[in-house]
Amino acid sequence: MTTDKDDLEPIEPGTAQELFLDHKATDCTDSTVRNHRYRLNPFVRWCGEEEIDNLNELTGRDLQRYRLWRKEDGDLNKLSLRMQMSTLRVLLKWAGSIEAVPQNLYDKVMVPRVRPEERQRDETLDADDARDILEYLSKYEYASREHAVMALLWQTGIRVGAAHSLDVDDVFLDENYVQLIHRPDEGTTLKNGKSGQRPVALTPDVSEVLADYIRTHRVDETDEYGREPLFTTAHGRMHGNTIRRLTYRVTAPCYRGVDCPDCEGDESKCPEAVSPHAIRRGSITHFLTSDVPVDVVSDRMNVSRKVLDQHYDKRSEEVKMEQRRGYLDDI
Rounded Cα distance between 289 and 294, Å, is 10
Q: Which residues contact 255 (CB under 8 A, 6 or more apart)?
A: 249, 267
| Degrees, nearest 5: CA angle 101-30-314 | 100
Look up residue 122 and give its amino acid.
Answer: D
The DSSP 8-state label assigned to residue 194 in this structure reads G
Rounded Cα distance between 236 and 185, Å, is 17
The confidence score (pLDDT) of residue 204 equals 94
The confidence score (pLDDT) of residue 50 equals 92
Backbone dihedral angles phi then psi of residue 88, each to the nearest 5 degrees: -60, -40
Q: What's the whole-model pTM score?
A: 0.66
The confidence score (pLDDT) of residue 1 equals 47
pLDDT digits (tens, 9 = 90+) for 19-54: 999 998 887 777 778 888 988 999 999 999 999 999
CB 330 within 8 A of CB 324: no
The confidence score (pLDDT) of residue 65 equals 93
Q: Which residues contact 184 (CB under 8 A, 6 or more apart)?
A: 193
CB 129 within 8 A of CB 152: no
Length of the chain: 331
Q: What structural domains and CATH numbers belong to the chain?
A: 5-114 (1.10.150.130), 123-331 (1.10.443.10)
Backbone dihedral angles phi then psi of residue 46, each to the nearest 5 degrees: -60, -40
The confidence score (pLDDT) of residue 323 equals 44
Listed as ranges, residues in the chain with pLDDT below 50 are: 1, 319, 323-324, 328
The confidence score (pLDDT) of residue 254 equals 82
Nearest to 44 by CA among 35, 56, 53, 31: 53
Backbone dihedral angles phi then psi of residue 306, each to the nearest 5 degrees: -65, -50
Q: How far is CA 323 from the centre of its chain?
A: 24
| Degrees, nearest 5: CA angle 187-189-194 | 130
- H or E segment to which residue 80 belongs: helix 78-97
Rounded Cα distance between 24 and 16, Å, is 12
Please list the residues that pair with 6 across neighbouring strands. Answer: none
The confidence score (pLDDT) of residue 120 equals 52
Rounded Cα distance between 314 and 329, Å, is 24
Rounded Cα distance between 36 and 84, Å, is 8
The confidence score (pLDDT) of residue 179 equals 95
The DSSP 8-state label assigned to residue 172 in this structure reads E
Please list the residues that pair with 9 across neighbouring strands. Answer: none
The confidence score (pLDDT) of residue 117 equals 55
